[in-house]
Amino acid sequence: WSAPSDPLDILVAGIYRKPSLSAQPGPSVPRGVTVTLQCGSEIWLDTFHLHREGSLDPPQHLRLQDTSAPSQANFTLSPVTSGHQGTYRCYGSNSTSPYLLSQPSDPLELLVSGMYRKPSLSAQPGPSVPRGVNVTLQCGSEIWFDTFHLHREGSLDPPQHLRLQDTSAPFQATFTLSPVSSAHQGTYRCYGSNSTSPYLLSQPSDPLEVVVSG
């Protein structure tokens, strides 16, 4: 007989309701910072598993010491590099049945910025507008990008994405806020990327503050 193979764990998902997955300080971060991916459940689960789609590495596991509900595990990525970019999902389980997992969380796209020079960001007709009008935020770059991303600081919503159909210079994407309301007010930044590496972003644009009156 030969030596035994390495063990292979077969996990069965879908036993419990899906947990939530969020990123702190956010899903779009510059390389070099520390990011915490928070996987939480309203029902009692004492073990959580984090997996990056497409990765050949096994999921990360965290077992909680505090088993009171709600349950939450914090997975730390530090420092963030281009190798951390991608789509993550998490699962929950109980140590009494470690191979029976919850349904997967909704996907979370982790975008790592700082790979290319920053694009520009401007507003038409301007950054200060009355409520109800249409505002376009124009994100442009002198270097070649085929995808642009727009994010409002402090928002838990993922960045908006626009992929260009025409990839000839100048490279510019137009994001429309229509009609503008108080919910659109805030500080915006945009990023550029290439579809061949969709999670690796440029440095952020200079901030643009949208002020809504009325």
Q: 108: closest CA among 54, 40, 27, 50? A: 27
Boundary residue ending a domain (64, 89, 113): 113
Res 190: pLDDT: 96
Domain interval for residue 37 = 20-113
Residues 104 and 92: their CA atoms lie apart, in Å, by 8
Residue 99 burial (CB < 10 Å; 0-12/13-18/19+)?
Answer: exposed
Res 37: pLDDT: 98
Percent of the chain having pLDDT more than 90? Answer: 73
Residues 81 and 125 in one domain: no
Structural domain includes residue 155: yes
If one compares 26 and 180, the residue with the highest pLDDT of the two is 180
For residue 204, give the DSSP letter: P
pLDDT in tens, 163-201: 998 777 779 999 999 999 999 999 999 999 999 998 999
Question: Total structural domains in the chain?
Answer: 2
Give residues with Cβ within 8 angstroms of 6, minimum separation 6: none
Residues 28 and 50 in one domain: yes
The SS3 of residue 136 is strand
Residues 70-89, mean pLDDT to the nearest whole number = 94
Structural domain includes residue 7: no
Boundary residue ending a domain (113, 139, 155): 113
Q: Which two tokens stand for residue 55?
A: 């990765």
Residues 67-96, mean pLDDT to the nearest whole number = 92
For residue 37, give the DSSP letter: E
Asked whether 175 and 135 are in contact (CB, 8 A), the reply is: no
Residue 56 has pLDDT above 80, yes or no: yes
CATH number reported for the structural domain that contains residue 26 in this entry: 2.60.40.10
Tokens 């096994």, located at residue: 58
pLDDT in tens, 90-146: 999 998 888 899 999 999 999 999 989 999 999 999 999 999 999 999 999 999 999
